[in-house]
Structure formats: structure tokens, C-alpha cells
Chains A and B, each alone.
Chain A
Amino acid sequence: GESVGLHLPTLSVQEGDNSIINCAYSNSASDYFIWYKQESGKGPQFIIDIRSNMDKRQGQRVTVLLNKTVKHLSLQIAATQPGDSAVYFCAENEASGGSYIPTFGRGTSLIVHP
């Protein structure tokens, strides 16, 4: 079956640096992608999404880039703060009968050092 994976399981950065978290996907039918943040002991929380007809989307301090040619997704966090320390998941979504069926990647642990 097709799957979503991540290039780096752990990323350590200094406070104030920019962080880039990568994700590879292989399902060419996926048309909607989401990044989630999961803090220790909590459920995942939506950060930002992007549809396949876009290649870039910006939020507050976060930017998601989508490269459909190489099936690659990245999350950029500007001026990383200690509160950004968490596990970040990408999820690819394939439309099915009017709803989406998500597939999650393994996750990348982001550690921000003060």
C-alpha cells in the first residue's frame, strides 16, 4: 500500500532559528494535506493545510510547501520558540465518497533549546 513518511524523526534547533520539517508521500491520488502538532500527553492539533492545487500556504509563523513533482511536503516554522517543541505529523488525504480518508506519517519530534 502507499504510505506517508518523514525524512527526519528528530530535529533539534535553537530558540529563534527557523525549523523545517519534511514529509514524503506516495499516493498520487492524495489532494489535501494537513500538518498537526502533538504536545506531550495531548491529542494532535491542526496547524495548517494545503490543497493540491497550491504549492505554498502561509499561516502565523508557519508555511507549508507542496512539491507535487517529487511528492514532498514541508512545514517551515519561523523564529522557533520553546513552546513549539512537540511532535509534528503530516497527513495526506484522499477523497472518498464525499469525505476524506487520512493517512498519517510517523511524526518528527521537534526540540527547541532555549
Chain B
Amino acid sequence: NAGVTQTPKFQVLKTGQSMTLQCAQDMNHEYMSWYRQDPGMGLRLIHYSVGAGITDQGEVPNGYNVSRSTTEDFPLRLLSAAPSQTSVYFCATSTSGDEQYFGPGTRLTVT
């Protein structure tokens, strides 16, 4: 089992560009979520989903969109990248939001 996979591992964007961070899981978990981690900070919840077709906002949703058309995939879209979105992004899955399994992360730099 691959667990939780994220692509790309690294990305550099210019201000105003858009892109999609991919997250896929083969654990058949209903709950998926996206976090950002900034230096010296904990993880902050961006968006989460409790099942296919259902998404909700977390603590820092502005500038990001998500959709959940399948159980396996939960892409995160940056609509118009800003330097403030430079961060490490983690996708996580769990059965119900409790013990979370994290992907390896995507390191995003916006110039």
C-alpha cells in the first residue's frame, strides 16, 4: 500500500499563477484534510472532507479551493498564488478525523 501520496514534492510559482496540489490515498479513509505548515508553526487546517462530495473550510481557507469527487483523491487548488502562500502543504487521511496519516508534503515557494 502506498498510503498517502502527494505530488509534486516541490513547486515554484510566480505571483498570480494557479496550480493544483494532488493528494491520493489507498487506505479507503473517508476523512481527508489539507494543512499548511509555516516555519516554527504548527499545522493549520485549510479544508477538509468527511466523504466524497462533502467539503468544508478549516482555519485558513482563503485563496484555496478543494473538491472531493472520489474517496481516493482530494486536490487542493491555489487560484492566484501569493507570496503569503509559500509554505509546506500536507495532506492527511483518517477514518473520522482522529488518528491522521500524513503524506510526505509539498514544498511550495511563491515569488
Contacts and interface: CB of A to CB of B under 8 A. Distances in A.
Interface residues of B, number: 25
A83 interface: no
Interface string B85-106: 0000010100011111111110
Interface in B11-54: 31, 35, 40-45, 48, 50
Contact of B105 (A9, A42, A99, A100): A42
Interface stretch (A44-52, A58-66, A72-80): A44-52
A112 B44 CA distance: 27
Given A93-B97, A93-B98, A104 B90 contact: no
Contacts of B31: 99
A44 B90 contact: yes
Nearest to A95: B97
A114 interface: no
Interface string A21-59: 000000000001010100001111110010000000000
A103 B40 CA distance: 16
Interface residues of A, number: 25
A22 B42 CA distance: 15
Given A43-B90, A89-B42, A106-B40, A101 B97 contact: yes
Contacts of A42: 104-105
Contacts of B43: 44, 89, 104
Contacts of A44: 43, 90, 100, 102
Contacts of B48: 101
Q: Give the 4 A-B CB pairs with smallest separation, nearest first.
A: A43-B102, A100-B97, A104-B42, A99-B97
